[in-house]
Amino acid sequence: MTSNTLPSAPGAPTTGAQLALADDLLRRLRTTTTEPRPDEQLEALTLAVAADLPVLLWGEPGIGKTAALTQLATSLDLPLTTVIASVHEPSDFSGLPIVGDDPAVQGVPMAPPQWAVELVRAGKGLLFLDELSTATPAVQAALLRVVLERKVGALQLPPGVRIVAAANPRASAADGWELSPPLANRFVHLYWVHDRDVVVRGLGGVWPRAELPRLEPERLPEAVAYARRAVCGFLQARPTLIHRLPGTESRRGAAWPSPRSWEAALTLLAFGTAAAVSREVLALLIRGAVGDGPGLELLAHLDRMDLPDPESLLADPPVAELPERGDLRQAALEAVVAAVGARPERERWEAAWKVLARALETGAPDLLVAPATTLAALRRDDWQLPQTLDRLAGVVGLARRADRSVVRATAGSGSAAGARR
């Protein structure tokens, strides 16, 4: 019997050697390093994981959610356990009933799956619930206890286990479902988008490194007090936002305000304050906990809390510390003028001009136009013009010219309207 297989050329590598070379090439392609690099998404994710809050990453397929979780687990030295929610049955999360010797006395325990037992054995880990938006409503219901109480069947997951999930928007999910409101309200929702520079540098072999937030011990009591004061003060002013279930099904499957999610926002605010994270990272976290509208309102409330006391500025204008951000600086100056208007006295009026002069030394002059105009209108007939006003003559003149131009424009539009009649 003859064979049709051609003999190998002398010295040619065997099939086994070729596969070994292929494996070596794959190892080289998969070998990457990390570097410290500013990444607001990754920083927000890491802080929420440190705060032991369940996180749900939303993003289109192939955007890098799973890769980010793998890198996060490696950086934090946590074993990664991936569970594809959509291919499991409800009993895989609620437990399988096991009949013992005497069920009438001992009951019927709910046996946990192997992955939960391994997590308990390790004592720590990152539980990654993938494809959450393609899990059936029955599976989502079974996940409620896992996410909130950290219980799988009769097994309690240890405190060292963190939970992160991932989902695709319904439009791009394979046979996707909207998240049920009870399950959605248990997560901090972060929307994952790709960064061109991060992707290009990562494909070159260097990815951003996930690092735990650096909490300053001396700031912990202050951070807790600040977070409680901020959230409680805001909800006292906006009680209708304590619990607001959205009206549409799609919005119910995202972040929305409830006592549970406000508690998460308070926790994130305390962690963010203690770690001195940027406003952008804090905004991602707070909006991910309570939704865009309530989150933006809370952030605006935080800005108002950070404004300096106008009475303190009036008491010592030469050393007044004003916010650097333009909108906050103008709000602080307008608060000073409002304080003088509430209690108009010559000394306070003159001190306010000194605060404006201080603002002119340290910031843009256009922010002073509105406060200077209002402050000038507060002058009483027997109040002498302060010398400080000389330094602000240009600003006041600009305000007067602006007022005159508005009057002229209004008069002109009125005349034109009359001519058209």
Question: What's the pLDDT tens digit per position in 63-98?
Answer: 888 888 888 888 888 999 999 888 888 888 887 777
Q: Looking at the DSSP assignment, which residues form a beta bridge with residue 189?
A: 56
**Range among 260-274, 365-379, 396-410 with highest mean pLDDT value:** 260-274
Q: What is the pLDDT of residues 158-209, one digit of tens each?
A: 999 999 999 888 666 556 678 889 999 999 999 988 888 888 988 888 888 8
Phi, psi values for residue 168, rounded to 5°? -100, 145
Q: What is the pLDDT of residues 292-316, one digit of tens each?
A: 999 999 999 998 888 888 899 999 9
Q: How confident is the model at residue 405 (pLDDT cuts 50, 70, 90)?
A: very low
Tell the residue number behind the tokens 């990390």, with chain if given.
Answer: 34
d(CA 37, CA 145): 36
d(CA 321, CA 312): 10
Buried b (16+ CB within 10 A) or exposed e, 85-120: bbebebbbbbbeeeeeeeeeeeeebbbbbeebeebe
pLDDT at position 264 over 90 = yes
List % helix, strand, coil for the chain (3-state, nearest 5). 60, 10, 30
pLDDT at position 376 over 90 = no
Looking at residue 416, what is its pLDDT? Answer: 45
DSSP assignment of 50-108, as one string? HTT--EEEE--TTSSHHHHHHHHHHHTT--EEEEEGGGS-THHHH-EE---S-HHHH--
pTM for the whole structure: 0.75
